[in-house]
Amino acid sequence: MTIAELIRDASEEAVGYSSDECIKCNVCLTVCPVARVTDLFPGPKYVGPQAQRFRTGRAQPVQVPGVPFALSPDVTVDYCSGCGLCTSACPAGVKIAEMNSQSRARMKAGKRPKLRDWGLGQTDLVGRVGVLFSPISNWALANRPIRAIMETTIGIHREAPFPKFGRRTLQSTWKRRQQRRGTAAVPGPERAIVYFHGCSANYYEQHVADAAIEILKRNGFETIIPEQVCCGLPLISNGIYTEARQRAHKNLDVLAPYARQGYRIIGTSTSCTHTIKAEYREMLDIHADDATVVANATWDICEFLLDLHEQGRLDTGFGRLDEDLPYHAPCQLRSHGIGLPAMELFALVPGLRAADMDHDCCGIAGTYGMKKEKYPIGMAVGAPLFDKIKASGAPEAACDSETCRWQIEKATGTRTRHPIEILLQAYRVADAAGGTKRGPLAAAGT
Amino acid sequence: MPSADVVVIGAGLAGLTAAIAAAESGARVHVLAKGHAATHWGPGGIDVAGIPAASTPRDGIRRLAGQPGHPYAFLGDDVAAALEWIRPHLAAGGLEYVGDLDTPLQLVPTSIGGTRRAAILPAGQAAALSPWAAGERLVICGIAGFKDFWPEAIAASLSRERIWEGGNRPASVIPVSVALPGLAARHNLNALEIARRFDDPAWRATAIEAMARAIASVPGSGGRVALPAVLGIREHAAVLVAVQQRLPAAPFEMPLVPPSVPGMRLYAALRAALIRAGGRVQIGEMIERVEHDGRLVTAVVSAAAARTFTVRTGALVLATGGIAGGGLVAERDGRLREPILGLPVEAPPADDWLSVDAFDPAGHPLEKAGIRTDAELRPVGADGASLFDNVRVAGSLLAGERYIRERCGDGVALTSGWRAARSLSAVPAGHAAEPGSERP
């Protein structure tokens, strides 16, 4: 066994053996949003630390002669949505969600994944094809008979929320823009950041990227957009670790040199940034220096803006937004362990009455709620949140994660935007009123 | 990096009480906890002083306050005020509590067929508090297939005179079991799942009918009926009213093994009160270190993905629990350590840890271990001088209480949490710098 293999095994065991800390108190069950709504999932303790004792650290579960099942005893682990709330709530420090993700991957290892699960994992491939044929693909995804066929054949629920593909990718738009501007010297890490746009901003929601670029520029940062691929989270969630590792390595190869020069890597998708910060190492067992260097350099955009504010460097010249704004904190954001930076930023906007909905999960959990058999579970998980948002009567809501936004928007009919879009709107209100900037630039200029 | 006036570490009864009280007084409050514990494990009542010698909680407080080093020595006078203060907060979350410091301590039957002393219970358990009338029966109503509540075993045990310490008890204890819709074929049925079904009005109507018929089939009439504590979570108040109206005997819930449904209701009500008061809660955070400038804590740093998360703060409430909650950690060499601030721990010598029966009526000596404070709940050193001027210690981390044997854990947690917040509000505000106030 090589040293690298030893280290890799040890890390996997760190998750796996944390089951030894379980005191069987079932606190994890009390916070599990899936077990809250369905009998199909017996809860994090049963499929996690309880079942763990029957599993081994090997790639294949051990077969016992005469026993018709593998010793990894519980296939219902596939009903775990991976929201991670169990790990947060555990008073004993058991890595329950991580354990469940690994056992799902092991359960699926060596088998050909379902076409549907594989396809949902390939967000970048789907995005590329979808954008290429965007008028047709958008028509198809909005076409009820086609969606019914998709449900029957590949198992993507006909009502599952899908965003519209953009006309072009952010990458190609950006390249064009750069060509038009000509090659300017790339500013150093004090004046520029590297943007990890993820699949949503690249293929579906360029307006989120535009908002990020504009807000960063306003605060003194140019944006660098290197070639990148999907962060790999959809593959991890669908138990396809090998392909997820390939994506991770591609991204690390591109991002590590920037990180080493001191550039910060900013993402607008809180699940992508969490994958880069934590899951490359914890879930995919990538322990090259690159993984650590890149993780340490990666920031969620609201986390980054709040840090600027803490240093007194954020332009706080926000105009007045006189509105109620229901806010949902995505599960993946909570796994960052950084609090709710968007709520802190909203507090800087005059008149804005942002309210944390304090709900566990919207139910989509990445690609989970899109699947035929899991769609009703996802909708039931999110139902109390949808009711609260509808009851608020607010014209729009905010959420940091794209799939959650699509889910909330679909379920409530309430337009749901990234927090930075709200902030940008507040800046624009100030601009329209002829406001002056407050913050570092103003201070330097006066 | 947010800033706060008060950071509270721990989200049990003590931590959340301190947080609500501080937020109410206008402080910006940030709660960090490594997970859920005390509330989710406990029976959901407010045990103030359930010692055998005491007639009422007030009497119990007086007796405990007389013990050298007991937290009630300096908290005892505030228990009544803290209790009356928390009531409306819990009521706003749908939890009415019955009983006060002058309610006689009563032996209340438990779901393992024992009894415990209680005086202040949530409405769902309160019917157990009245004395038993002559000839009054107690029906124990279980749910078929539910393995955490065995009516026959409970009834057999509660039929023994000595379980009631020879005093007032029901004339008869009769078990009955009822099949509830959709549950009979289930494996791994737990209290939480049943409680969630009770939240559904249609399901609970059918279920309560079935329970009423089963109880009516038991010989005798009237009396009381003990049910497993599964009567709804979000809709508990409505479920309770429906059960009280329909069942032919006065119902009360018996708390079960974790996850404790009454404890979850308590947590939900406290959390909602904190959020209403403008506080923030973060669950799942491990504290890496606390930064301080001499005797003033300035920031709390928790582990985060890839980096750490820092909250600058003007004050700190340490409500991390005792040994079970992880507020104290035992080293292999027999020392107890307080892992957040490294405070000196008052504890019996390691040689005594294993020298007594774990079920000794006097309690385990480690129960009393904890942090010694002054009357303002500031941690103190061996010389009695304060170690950190803007730190308060609350809950079972406090030295000198035997929270299990003396049944005083909730009273101490509630009162110390409340007192900690009040004591801090007397500290001049403005320790935490406003973010963005310093321009480069």
How many angstroms away from the CA of A45 is the closest CA of chain B? 11
With H, G, I as helix, E, B as strand and everything else as coil, classify residue A325.
Answer: strand
- What is the model's pLDDT at position B425? 84
Considering the domain architecture, whether residues A289 and A180 belong to the same structural domain is answered as yes
Q: Which residues of A touch B2 (CB under 8 A)?
A: 306, 339, 341, 344
Query: Is A319 a domain residue?
Result: no
Measured between alpha carbons, how far is A297 from A262 in angstroms, rounded to an integer? 8
Residues A122-164 pLDDT 10s: 888 888 888 888 888 888 888 888 888 888 888 888 888 888 8
B197 neighbourhood in chain A, CB within 8 Å = none
Q: Are both A102 and A119 inside the same structural domain? A: no
More confident residue, A166 or B373: B373
Q: Name the stretches of chain B with pLDDT < 70.
A: 1, 355-356, 358, 427-440
Which CATH number belongs to the domain containing residue A79 in this structure? 1.10.1060.10
- Using a 10 angstrom Cβ sphere, with 0-12 exposed, 13-18 middle and 19 or more buried, the burial of residue A59 is exposed
Q: Do B36 and A30 touch (CB under 8 A)?
A: yes
Say if residue A185 is in the same domain as residue A231: yes
Least Cα distance to B177 among B128, B213, B222 occurs for B213
**Secondary structure string (H, E, C) spanning chain B:** CCEECEEEECCCHHHHHHHHHHHHCCCCEEEEECCCCHHHHCCCCCCCCCCCCCCCHHHHHHHHHCCCCCCHHHHHHHHHHHHHHHHHHHHHCCCCEECCCCCCCEEEECCCCCEEEECCEEHHHHHHHCCCCCCCEEEEEEECCCCCCCHHHHHHHHCCHHHHCCCCCCCEEEEEEECCCCCCCCCCCCHHHHHHHHCCHHHHHHHHHHHHHHHHCCCCCCCEEEEECCCCCCCHHHHHHHHHHHCCCEEEEECCCCCCHHHHHHHHHHHHHHHHCCCEEEECCCEEEEEEECCEEEEEEEECCCCEEEEEECCEEECCCCCCCCCCEECCCCCEECCCCCCCEECCCHHHCCCCCCCCCCCCHHHHCEECECCCCCEECCCCCECCCCEEECHHHECCCCCCCCCCHHHHHHHHHHHHHHHHHCCCCCCCCCCCCCCC
| Cβ within 8 Å, pair B305-A93 | no
**Residues of chain A contacting B305 with CB distance shorter than 8 Å:** 274, 277-278, 295, 335-338
A306 with A408, same domain: the answer is: no
Neighbours of A335 (CB within 10 A): 25
Q: Which residue has the tokens 């201070």?
A: A443
Q: Residue B377: is it exposed, middle or buried by C-beta count within 10 angstroms (0-12/13-18/19+)?
A: buried
Short-list A228, A349, A237, A234, CA closest to A298: A228
pLDDT tens, B401-425? 998 889 999 999 999 999 999 999 8
Partner-chain contact B284 A358, CB within 8 Å: no
- Residue showing tokens 């409970």: B154
Q: Is A393 left (phi over 0), alpha (psi -120 to 50) or beta?
A: left
Alpha carbon B418 to its chain's center: 14
Give the residue carrying structure tokens 């993946």.
A332
The whole-number pLDDT of residue B248 equals 94
Q: Does residue A415 sit in helix, strand or coil?
A: strand
Residues of B in contact with A92 (CB under 8 A): 35
* Contact predicate B71/B401, CB 8 Å: yes
Domain membership of residue A440 (yes or no) is: no
Evaluate whether residue A407 is within a structural domain.
yes
Helix A419-432 / helix A301-310 crossing angle, nearest 10 deg: 50
| Domain identity same for A130 and A215 | no
Could you tell me which chain B residue has the CA closest to the CA of A29?
B259
CB contact under 8 A, B41 and A25: yes
A 217-256 → B contacts, CB under 8 A: none
CATH number of the domain at A211, please: 1.20.1050
C-alpha to C-alpha distance for A271 and A152, rounded to whole angstroms:
29
What pLDDT shows up at residue A72? 55
Which chain B residues have a beta carbon less than 8 Å from that of A358? 271, 275
Residues of A within 8 A of B264 (CB-CB) are 30
Q: Best residue in A310, A336, A361, A381 to probe B by mutation, most B CBs within 10 Å?
A: A310
Residue B188: list chain A partners with CB under 8 A. 42, 46
Contacts of A314 in chain B (CB under 8 A): 436
CATH of the domain at A417: 3.40.50
Which structural domain, as residue segments, surrounds residue A299?
Answer: 170-310
Q: Would you tell me which residues 14-43 of chain A have a C-beta closer than 8 angstroms to some C-beta of chain B?
A: 25-27, 29-31, 35-36, 39, 42-43
Residue A440's CB is within 10 A of a number of other CB atoms, namely 19
pLDDT tens track for A257-307 = 999 999 999 999 999 999 999 999 988 889 899 999 999 999 999 999 999
Question: Is residue A221 over pLDDT 90?
Answer: yes
Alpha carbon distance A286, A279 (integer Å): 9
- Nearest chain B residue to A308 by CA distance is B436
Question: Which residues of chain B make contact with A341, given a CB cutoff of 8 A?
Answer: 2
Same domain, A374 and A279: no
By CA distance, what is B274's nearest residue in A?
A358
| A184 has a pLDDT exceeding 80 | no
Beta-carbon separation of A278 and B196 below 8 A: no
Minimum-distance CB partner of A336 among B2, B193, B304: B304
Let me know if residue A160 belongs to a domain.
no
What pLDDT, on a 0 to 100 scale, did the predictor assign at position A131? 83
**Interface check A87 vs B, CB under 8 A:** yes
Q: Are residues A188 and A296 in the same domain?
A: yes
pLDDT at position A384 over 60: yes
Pairwise CA distance, residues A283 & A78, whole Å: 16
Among B40, B186, B284, beta carbon nearest to A337:
B284
Query: CA B45 to CA B262: how far, in whole Å?
Result: 8
- The shortest C-alpha distance from B220 to chain A (Å) reads 38
Q: Can you tell me the mean pLDDT for A411-433? A: 96
- Give B302's contacts in chain A (Cβ within 8 Å): 337
Measured in angstroms, the CA of B295 and the nearest CA of chain A are apart by 24
Residues A261, A338, single domain; the answer is no
Residue with tokens 């409500």: B319
How many angstroms separate the CA atoms of A248 and A286, rounded?
9
Q: Are residues B422 and B415 in contact, defined by beta-carbon separation less than 8 angstroms?
A: no
Q: Is residue A353 part of a domain?
A: yes
State the pLDDT at residue A438: 59
Based on the domain organization, do A303 and A392 belong to the same domain?
A: no
- Written as one string, the DSSP assignment of A94-128 is --HHHHHHHHHHHHHTTSPPPHHHHHHH-HHHHHH
pLDDT tens, residue by residue, A17-46: 778 889 888 999 999 999 999 988 989 998
Residue type, A261: Q
Q: In angstroms, rounded to a whole number, what is the distance separating the alpha carbons of residues B48 and A173?
A: 67
Which residues of A, range 321-360, sit inside 8 Å of B by Cβ? 334-341, 343-344, 356, 358
Interchain CB distance below 8 Å, B305 and A30: no
What does the pLDDT read at residue A60?
47
The residues in A 44-83 lying below 8 A from B, measured between CB atoms, are 46
Q: Is residue A444 part of a domain?
A: no
Six-digit token string for B321: 């629990």
| Shared-domain flag, residues A350 and A238 | no
Cα B417 to Cα B82: distance, rounded to the nearest angstrom: 9
Residues 6+ apart with CB under 8 A from A252: A280, A286, A288, A290, A291, A294
Q: Domain boundary residue among A278, A310, A342? A: A310
Between CA A315 and CA A323, with CA A321 as vertex, the angle to 5 degrees is 140
Q: Is B153 left (phi over 0), alpha (psi -120 to 50) or beta?
A: alpha
For residue B125, what are the contacts with CB-CB under 8 A and spacing of at least 6? B43, B44, B45, B108, B118, B229, B252, B253, B254, B255, B262
Contacts of B233 in chain A (CB under 8 A): none
The last residue of a domain, from among A246, A277, A310: A310
Number of domains, chain A = 4
CB-based contact B40 A27, cutoff 8 Å: yes
Contacts of A203 (CB under 8 A, 6+ apart): A123, A124, A126, A127, A128, A130, A131, A165, A166, A169, A170
Q: Which residues of B5-40 are buried (b: 16+ CB within 10 A; e: fewer)?
A: bbbbbbbbbbbbbbbbbbbbbebbbbbbbbbbbbbb
Contacts of B259 in chain A (CB under 8 A): 25-27, 29-30
Q: Estimate to the nearest angstrom the gap between the alpha carbon of A109 and the chain centroid.
A: 24
Residues in A closer than 8 angstroms to B437, CB to CB, are 312
Task: For A143-154, give one letter per residue: b (16+ CB within 10 A) or e.
Answer: eeeebeebbeeb
Residue A208 — pLDDT band, cuts 50, 70, 90?
A: very high
Q: Report whether B10 contacts B37 (CB < 8 A).
A: no
Nearest to B60 by CA among B39, B88, B85, B80: B80
Within-domain flag for A420: yes
Helix (H) or strand (E) holding A161: none
- The Cα A33–Cα B196 span in angstroms is 12
> Both A381 and A345 in a single domain?
yes
CB pair distance less than 8 Å for A26 and B1 = no
Q: Confirm whether A134 is domain-assigned.
A: yes
- Chain B residues with at least one Cβ partner in A under 8 Å: 1-2, 30, 34-37, 40-41, 186, 188, 190, 192-193, 196, 258-259, 264, 271, 275, 280, 282-286, 302-307, 309, 311, 325-326, 435-440
Count residue pairs from A and B with Cβ separation < 8 A. 115
Q: CA-CA distance, A406 to A427, in Å (whole number)?
A: 25
Instruction: Say whether both A306 and A174 belong to one domain.
Output: yes
Chain B CB contacts of A46 under 8 Å are 188
Largest Cα–Cα distance of chain A, in whole Å? 82
Residue A419: exposure state from Cβ atoms within 10 A (0-12, 13-18, ≥19): buried
Q: Are B231 and B195 in contact (CB under 8 A)?
A: yes
Position A70 confidence tier, pLDDT thresholds 50, 70, 90: very low
* Contact state of B2 with A339 under an 8 Å Cβ cutoff: yes
Q: How far is A78 from chain B (nearest CA, A)?
A: 18
